[in-house]
């Protein structure tokens, strides 16, 4: 893995990954299944009626974590910035049409956010059992 796009593809390949936010002084983690590259930044969705949205408004620092079948894992962190627009929603829906069905019971609209200052730590087990770590930063 060399780029943030590789990290995004690894999250997509994991199928389910976990997004953590801060609620007051407590972490809150929930499973997610949608991520895409949005102009070089990881992009995610939520709905403005969800606690996730309120938590990100109050404290935009997030971390995403996933593991693959070879027990390699990723921790991606950054600062959430909402970019919701008709264009961003359309790009997300084109990337994953299931979003429209997912958010239909909530009125069909959804919020889109990207991670600024994204940094991923990618871990794997070396041949001797030691944990290997690689850090990938968002391009400037």
- The pTM for the full model equals 0.90
Q: How long is the chain?
A: 140
Count of structural domains, the chain: 1
CATH number at residue 28: 2.30.110.10
Give the pLDDT of residue 140. 65
Closest among 25, 93, 94, 12 to 55, alpha carbons compared: 25
Range of the domain at 67: 4-137
- The tokens describing 135, both together, are 């850090």
Give the pLDDT of residue 19. 97
The pairing of beta strand 111-125 with beta strand 73-82: antiparallel
Closest among 138, 136, 140 to 1, alpha carbons compared: 136
Give the pLDDT of residue 21. 98
Per-residue pLDDT 10s for the chain (140 aa) are 788 899 999 999 998 999 999 999 999 999 999 999 999 999 999 999 999 999 999 999 999 999 987 888 999 999 999 999 999 999 998 988 888 777 776 667 889 999 999 999 999 888 888 888 888 987 76
- The tokens describing 67, both together, are 């593991």
Classify residue 67 by burial, with Cβ atoms within 10 Å: 0-12, 13-18, 19+. Answer: middle
The 3-state DSSP composition of the chain as helix, strand, coil percent (nearest 5) reads 25, 45, 30
């Amino acid at each position: 893995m060399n780029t943030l796009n590789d990290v995004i593809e690894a999250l997509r390949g994991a199928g389910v990954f976990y997004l953590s936010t801060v609620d007051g002084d407590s972490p809150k983690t929930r499973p997610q299944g949608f991520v895409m590259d949005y102009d070089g930044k990881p992009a995610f969705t939520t709905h403005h009626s969800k606690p996730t949205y309120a938590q990100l408004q109050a404290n935009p620092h997030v971390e995403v974590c996933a593991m693959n079948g070879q027990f390699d894992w990723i921790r991606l962190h950054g600062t959430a910035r909402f970019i919701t627009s008709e264009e961003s929603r359309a790009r997300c829906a084109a990337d994953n049409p299931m979003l429209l069905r997912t958010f239909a019971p909530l009125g069909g609209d959804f919020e889109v956010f990207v991670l600024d200052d994204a940094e991923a730590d990618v871990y794997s087990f070396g041949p001797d059992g030691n944990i290997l770590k690689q850090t990938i930063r968002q391009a400037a």
